[in-house]
Structure 1
Amino acid sequence: MKTIYIPKGETVSYETLATEHLVVKGCLQVTGSVKAKTISGDGVICAGSVEADIIRIGSLEAAAVICKRLIAECVQAPEVFASESAAVSCFLSAAYVETGRLTVAISEISEVKADEVINLTLKKRGLFTTLLLSALRSVWLTLTVPKSKNEVMDAEYAPAQEPSESKARQAAKEASPSSAAPEKKRKTPLNQSEREPVDEELNRIVGTFMLLRDQGYTLRVIPKTPEENAPVFDFETETIIRPAA
């Protein structure tokens, strides 16, 4: 008969494990399933699923436990199937338990299917033991109970999408007042220049006309007059150096 022994103080890991007899004094971690005829010891087993005829272990944590008889101090598993009996002296946490006779002290079970249920009398525990058991319950609940997502009922909505980095940076720039003020200042002159274009040639002609009008002259525009025949005006002395042709 093949027997696997895990000594105390050691942690052994397997992907899957199949043997006739399994003795666990330390810690056994199995990713997949554990199959054996008998499992015994006061150690800890953490596995995907455990299948055996007789299980007598200190602490057992698995996704599913299938056996004939189960005896343990602490069991944490969503599903526990023990065809004959299941006895847990310390703490049992499971979503579904199916057995012939269930003996348990402290338990958190959603659904039980058993011919007989026996609740053990609670022993007086110290403050440290009580806090430790409370911490174990909290950790187990956070690992097993699925988190419910808050959804809007009877309303049309669209889930929010995470903004990209470029959009987030652009939104941060628009939200900051220090960057918004210069941008507004820059845009104002541009808008005025686009709406009111400046005609330098017209301003020069109007200025010349106003100067000549003060001197008593009248401006006459001759069609197709060359630019070199235009009058020359001295702005410093406010006199006409050369009259128009």
Structure 2
Amino acid sequence: MKTVYIPKGKTVHYESLVTDHLVVKGCLDVTYGIKAKTISGSGVTRAGSVEADSIRMDSLEAATIICKRLIAKRVQAPEVFASESAVVSCFLSAAYVETGRLTAAVSEIDVVKADEVVNLAKKKRTLFGTLLASALRSFWTALTVPRPDGEIMDAEYAPVTEAEPAAPEAPDAQPQSAAEAEQKAEPVDEELNRFVNMFKLAREGGFTLKIVPGTPEENAPIFDFETETIQRPAA
């Protein structure tokens, strides 16, 4: 069917409806879905889903509405998808609305995804008056409100700089004696310390160290194995 017409004062029921043009003056109930190029009329349409290029109705109730342009007085639908624009002059109730430009007087929407949203004052308007008011409001907004260029205006901000890592705190310096300071300043002579310790040990034992000239081999004592005695060289 190219055109389906529902006269005023008549109620028609369908399980599903596919047509080019749908004109509803009365009441139309569709159990599943409606698919048409254009839907118009001053009546009431209720359906499971509505798909069309252009919708212009007084009252529309559906689970899902998919179209290019939507113009209505009252719309109740959990999901509304209008690729170009959606204009509702009286009341719009939806859980999710996605459109290019949304115009509504009174609305109850959970989530809106739109490039532009126009909220009209609560006045009695025809559909043509709603379209005209929406166009004027959009034009006036474009003239008076500058579009942001990506920079936040009239906001105080400071550039974020990376904090430099704090230098580790040096441990508390302990007081040092003069001997410890001198020992750290000069390298330790182990050979000298060995002789000094030998001298101290001999003196504590009651001995006296004597310096004998000559090489250690010439002054070294000789052990006689026959007599088992030590023969010391003459001083």
TM-score normalised by the chain length of structure 1: 0.50
Partner of 2:27: 27
Matches within 5 A, 1:174-189: none
Partner of 2:56: 56
Partner of 1:8: 8
**Which residue identity lines up with residue 22 of structure 2 in the other structure?**
L
Partner of 1:110: 110
Three-state SS of the structure 2 residue aligned to 1:9 is coil
Three-state SS of the structure 1 residue aligned to 2:113 is strand
Over alpha carbons, which structure has the higher Rg? 2
Partner of 2:216: none
Deviation at residue 122 of structure 1 after TM alignment: 1.1
Unaligned 5+ residue runs, structure 2? 125-235
Q: Deviations 1:166-186 (Å, cap 9, x if unpaired)?
A: xxxxxxxxxxxxxxxxxxxxx
Three-state SS of the structure 1 residue aligned to 2:42 is coil
**Equivalent pairs, count:** 125
CA distance in 1, matches of 2:72, 2:44: 10
Structure with a larger share of its residues in helix: 1
TM-score normalised by the chain length of structure 2: 0.52
Partner of 2:65: 65
Q: Deviations 1:86-108 (Å, cap 9, x if unpaired)?
A: 00000000000000000000000
Runs (4 or more) in structure 1 with deviation over 4 Å come to none
**Which residue identity lines up with residue 30 of structure 1 in the other structure?**
V
Unaligned 5+ residue runs, structure 1? 125-245
Three-state SS of the structure 2 residue aligned to 1:102 is strand
Deviation at residue 123 of structure 1 after TM alignment: 2.1
CA distance in 1, matches of 2:97, 2:42: 22
Tell me the C-alpha RMSD between the 2 structures: 1.4
Partner of 2:207: none
**Which residue identity lines up with residue 5 of structure 1 in the other structure?**
Y
CA distance in 2, matches of 1:5, 1:100: 30
Identity in percent: 77
Partner of 2:77: 77
CA distance in 2, matches of 1:69, 1:101: 10
